[in-house]
Amino acid sequence: MLRAGALVALGSAAVPLTGCDLFDGGDDKPPAPDPLEPLAAESAALEARHRAAVAAAPTLAERLTAIADAHRAHADELRKVIGRPAPSGPPAATPSAAATDPDGLLAELRQAEQQGRENAAKACAAAPAERAALLGSIAAARATHVEALK
């Protein structure tokens, strides 16, 4: 009897300890940000900047729309690789007050594309092999964009 009582006491003491783990989700940490998150955000921001430039100077539409579309495709592909949806709402971008003429807008976009190319090249160099081809392609596209904006 005493043994049975001791087993029941031990068993009932163990149940609350194990039961706590079933409902305690507080130890779950959100997944770490993917190293490609900043590049995906930058692609979306570059798209928004090009579209804002077209809105400010419609004469640039033929030249900038294809570049903006390329940035949208890059952002979409990076999001697929990351496995997370894009943040809600597109990034807002407006041309600076200093750049309202087409030449000023192109100079700003050229500078942004150059920085973006450098960021993509760094990401490519640090990426695992399965991501390097995509990142190399994005870096090359951004280098082409710099030349197209001259």
pLDDT digit string (tens) for 40-86? Answer: 999 999 999 999 999 999 999 999 999 999 999 999 999 999 998 77
Residue ranges of E strands in 6-125: none
Least confident segment among 15-19, 26-30, 88-92: 15-19
* DSSP state letter for 33: P
For the chain, the domains span: 37-83+100-148
Q: What is the mean pLDDT of residues 117-122?
A: 97
pLDDT band, very low/low/confident/very high, at 3 (cuts 50, 70, 90): low
